[in-house]
Structures are given as structure tokens and as C-alpha cells.
Amino acid sequence: MESFQVDLIEPPKIPTPTTHLSPLKYEKLPTPTSIRLLKIDPLPSIKDDLDFFRPITCSLVIKDLNNRPRYDALSYTWGDPLGREWSSSDSTAPGGWATTPFGITCNGQRVNITTNLHTALIALRYHLTKSRGSSISTPLSNMSEYIWIDQICINQTDIVEKNSQVQLMGQIYRKCAAVQIWLGGHQKDISDLLYAYRFIQRFQPLLDGPNGDMFKSFDITNEDDCKWFNLQPISPEKARGMLDFFNRAWFKRSWIIQEALLAPKSNALFSTIATPFEVLSNFVRSLGDSTWFRKLTIAANHKYSGSLATPSFFNRLHEVTYRLGTRSFDSHDQYWKQPLPIDTVTRMFRTCEATDPRDNVYAFIGITENDVNQKGPQILPDYSKNVEEIYIDTTKLIMSSEGFNLD
């Protein structure tokens, strides 16, 4: 199979007829632990771009979590995957990313979905097709036949079902075979990231060696330092591109905390590249453990603006990882391997973003004591409540857990 790439797809500036397709007709979920799973139809082959971008066809099935079905789950952003700051000069305003201009066929019905999900489905179908009959092992070689995607698998117009399914999301991500993290289509920042990654990999054995501390102070942006290793320094442009990649919207989302951590394993997908998420995480930790991240930031500073959540973002992920015991990156005291208090989680990830402000609370239920402690007061998803009501309920729960008498 030839090599293809999934470029960033922008929402059309003029709405297409598919924007006004009828909502998908959903079969009612029979039990409280039932979920819908999506089966994407692979292509017979991919010979050219015409094949690559053929219309998506898929189907939904209903499974009960208690029966332990095998499935993957998708983690992605509904909006602009690049997380760009919008201005009047941008090609697509945030509202454009919130629309559903692309049509797919699901259960024989034409259904409309958001732009970034459409791009993700193209990439997922590529990996499904590529893995069929191939003896080459890749991170997605054992990709499940079914995948859970909130936008399609939850009836978004049914508030009662949405409340119930959001409450189940901790279980959905814990019980899936793998989380496939869609970071977005190809842009220059991906090429710069790959360049920086390969560059850093050259030094990893030296970092792990007896003189590792010395190499941690090595300036990978300095031409004289790099001459010792017959390498070209990382330019300000490439440094900026790498930083731009980690400023993509996914890294700022509230929902990704439980989505990335609760599953047994997770893969990062961008364009048609797939890699274990730990590879990205460990790459950033290598930068953070040395002086390299700071030097890359300084090198790009005169061309780079915007808030950067890295590497502190990954450090917070690792702290939650330790406390939940969901990964084995390092050995850690058993004290930490427990659910987190909701006030701790909301404080740690207060800078995360959500399209719906109510999700700045609901997104963390799966990793808090609230998810497992069924006896005391709880925060239960209820999208009939407004933001103010939910924040008041959460504040009351936090104060009650700290011993304040609110009667």
C-alpha cells in the first residue's frame, strides 16, 4: 500500500447540504450499562487519493459493558484540532468547527458530523485497511473491530441518555482495549516534531549513560555544540513547529485526562502516523529533565507567542497516573494509587478547556473518588442544569468533603 497523509481539513466556508441532514435514528439502549459501538467499513484497497477519500460507511451495534466486549475508544476534539487563537483574519472561526458539514453513511442513513471527526475517521479507516492481511507489526496492528466515539455513539439530543452515558465514561475508557488519540491532520508542525524527535533520540543513550548530567546541559540549538556530533542545530523555526504541535487543542481539553489515562494502553494518531502515547510522553519528559525544552523555547521565543502547557501538562498526567495506578511508567508508593479527591483534580487541571463549561466538572468524574464512592454525596451528570448550578453543587461537595457543615 502506498504512503498517504491526512492533511488538516478545514470546515467549508459555505455550508453544504449535508449540514442539514436529519439526525441519526437511534435504537434505545436496553440496560444501564449498554453502549453503542461503531464499526467502520475498511476499504478493499487504497491505490490513490480517490480511494483514500471515498465516503465513509459504518454501522452501530449495541453491546453491554458487563459482557466485556472488545472495542477501542476515540479521544479527539470536536473543534479546531490546532487550537489556534481566532481572529477576524483566520480562515475559519470557532463556530465553523462546531458545525457538522460532512456526511457519512451509518446504518444506511446519511448522518452529519464535525470536520475534525470526519478527518479522524479517514485516518482510522486507513489504519484498518492497512492492517488487514499485513504481517508488519504497528501500534494499530491489533486495532479492534469496534470503536466508541461519543459524537456518534451517544444520542446527543436525548438528555437522559447523555447524562447516563457520561456517567459511564470512566468505565468505557477503563474497559476498552485501547484509546486512539486523534491529534489532527498534517501540518508543518508534525514535520518539525518528527525532526526534533529523531534529533533527541540520537542523544538518548548518552542521557542514560554515566555522563548523562553533562549532556543534559548540551545546547541542541547551538551550532558549535552540535558540531561535536556532526549535527545541524535545531533551528528556531523547527523549535517553534515542535512547540506548536504540543499546543494543539487536544492537550488542553478537560476530557482527555480520563480518556488518555484510564485505558490499558493508548496510541497517538496524527496524519497517518500512529505511535504509543508513551513515546510522546517520554519524549517530552526527556526534554523537561534536561535543559533542552527551555533552550528550544528560548530559540523560538522571538517567533512564538501563546500559552504553552508543556511539559507541565505531561507532568500532571504522570502525577494522576501514579495516583490511579493506571500505568507503570515508574514504581511508586501505594499511597498514590488511589482515586483523587474532586477538589484536587479540578485544581490540578483548572486551565483545561471544554466546549461546554459544564464538562470542566463532568470530565473528571471518572478519575475521582466521586466515581467509586457510592455512599456519600456525588456529582452526577445532569445536562438539564445550567453552569451556575453545577459549579455550586461542586463547591458544596468540596466543602462537605473538607468537613464544612452546610446545613
Q: Is residue 229 part of a domain?
A: yes
pLDDT band at 16; cut points 50, 70, 90 = low
Q: What's the confidence (pLDDT) of residue 198?
A: 85
pLDDT band at 404; cut points 50, 70, 90 = low
Read off the pLDDT of each residue in 147-155 and give the average, rounded to a whole number.
97
Q: What's the confidence (pLDDT) of residue 95?
A: 65
Q: Is residue 83 part of a domain?
A: yes
The most confident of 64-68, 129-133, 235-239, 314-318, by mean pLDDT? 64-68
Claim to verify: residue 292 and residue 174 sit in the same structural domain: no
The most confident of 270-274, 277-281, 287-291, by mean pLDDT? 270-274
Claim to verify: residue 229 and residue 295 sit in the same structural domain: yes
Claim to verify: residue 82 and residue 96 sit in the same structural domain: yes
Of 158 and 131, the structure prediction assigns the larger pLDDT to: 158
Q: What's the confidence (pLDDT) of residue 335?
A: 35
Query: 224 lies in which domain range?
Result: 188-243+275-324
Q: What's the confidence (pLDDT) of residue 293?
A: 77
Minimal CA–CA distance to 144: which of 263, 247, 28?
A: 263
Of 293 and 3, the structure prediction assigns the larger pLDDT to: 293
Q: Residue 374 and residue 368: Cα distance in Å, rounded?
A: 12
Q: Is residue 143 part of a domain?
A: yes
Q: What's the confidence (pLDDT) of residue 92?
A: 56
Cβ proximity of 139 and 6 under 8 Å: no
Claim to verify: residue 236 and residue 205 sit in the same structural domain: yes
Q: What's the confidence (pLDDT) of residue 264?
A: 83
Q: What's the confidence (pLDDT) of residue 19?
A: 47
Claim to verify: residue 155 and residue 301 sit in the same structural domain: no
CA distances from 407 to 335, 377, 389, 404 (A): 32, 14, 18, 9
Question: Any bridge partners for residue 59, and if so which?
Answer: 39
Q: What's the confidence (pLDDT) of residue 374?
A: 45
Claim to verify: residue 195 and residue 176 sit in the same structural domain: no
Minimal CA–CA distance to 24: which of 191, 158, 192?
A: 158
* pTM summary value: 0.84
Q: Residue 346 and residue 363: Cα distance in Å, rounded?
A: 10
Lowest-confidence segment of 48-62, 76-90, 132-146, 179-193 by average pLDDT: 76-90
Q: Is residue 258 part of a domain?
A: no
Q: Is residue 250 part of a domain?
A: no
Claim to verify: residue 293 and residue 213 sit in the same structural domain: yes
Percent of the chain scored above 90 by pLDDT? 30
Mean pLDDT of the chain, nearest integer: 80
Specify the length of the chain in residues.
Answer: 407
Q: What is the SS3 assignment for 393?
A: helix
For the segment 183-239, what is each residue's pLDDT rounded down to a tens digit? 998 888 888 888 888 888 877 777 777 877 777 778 888 888 888 878 888 888 888
The angle formed by the CA atoms of residues 318, 330 and 325, to the nearest 5 degrees, is 60
Q: What are the residue ranges of helices labelled H in 179-311? A: 188-207, 212-216, 223-227, 236-245, 256-261, 277-289, 292-300
Of 111 and 289, the structure prediction assigns the larger pLDDT to: 111
Q: What's the confidence (pLDDT) of residue 244?
A: 82
Count of domains for the chain? 3
Claim to verify: residue 56 and residue 99 sit in the same structural domain: yes
Of 359 and 312, the structure prediction assigns the larger pLDDT to: 359
Pick the last residue of a domain from 265, 292, 324.
324
Q: List the beta strands (DSSP E) in 97-150.
A: 102-106, 109-113, 147-148
Q: What's the confidence (pLDDT) of residue 322?
A: 47
Pick the last residue of a domain from 156, 182, 208.
182
Q: What's the confidence (pLDDT) of residue 329?
A: 41
Claim to verify: residue 118 and residue 230 sit in the same structural domain: no
Does residue 73 register a pLDDT over 80? yes
pLDDT band at 145; cut points 50, 70, 90 = very high
Q: Is residue 1 part of a domain?
A: no
Of 224 and 106, the structure prediction assigns the larger pLDDT to: 106
Q: Residue 266 and residue 179: Cα distance in Å, rounded?
A: 5
CA distances from 139 to 106, 128, 173, 182 (A): 27, 12, 18, 14
Lowest-confidence segment of 20-24, 346-350, 369-373 by average pLDDT: 369-373
Cβ proximity of 125 and 57 under 8 Å: no
pLDDT band at 37; cut points 50, 70, 90 = very high
Q: List the beta strands (DSSP E) in 235-368.
A: 266-270, 273-276
Claim to verify: residue 51 and residue 171 sit in the same structural domain: yes
Read off the pLDDT of each residue in 297-309 and give the average, rounded to a whole number.
61
Pick the last residue of a domain from 132, 151, 182.
182
Claim to verify: residue 120 and residue 222 sit in the same structural domain: no
**In terms of C-beta density within 10 A (0-12 exposed, 13-18 middle, 19 or more buried), how is residue 130 classed?**
buried
Q: Residue 356 and residue 333: Cα distance in Å, rounded?
A: 36
Q: Residue 312 and residue 67: Cα distance in Å, rounded?
A: 38
pLDDT band at 31; cut points 50, 70, 90 = very high
Q: Is residue 288 part of a domain?
A: yes
Q: Is residue 8 part of a domain?
A: no
Claim to verify: residue 146 and residue 194 sit in the same structural domain: no
Cβ proximity of 125 and 43 under 8 Å: yes
Q: What's the confidence (pLDDT) of residue 370?
A: 57
Q: What's the confidence (pLDDT) of residue 41?
A: 96
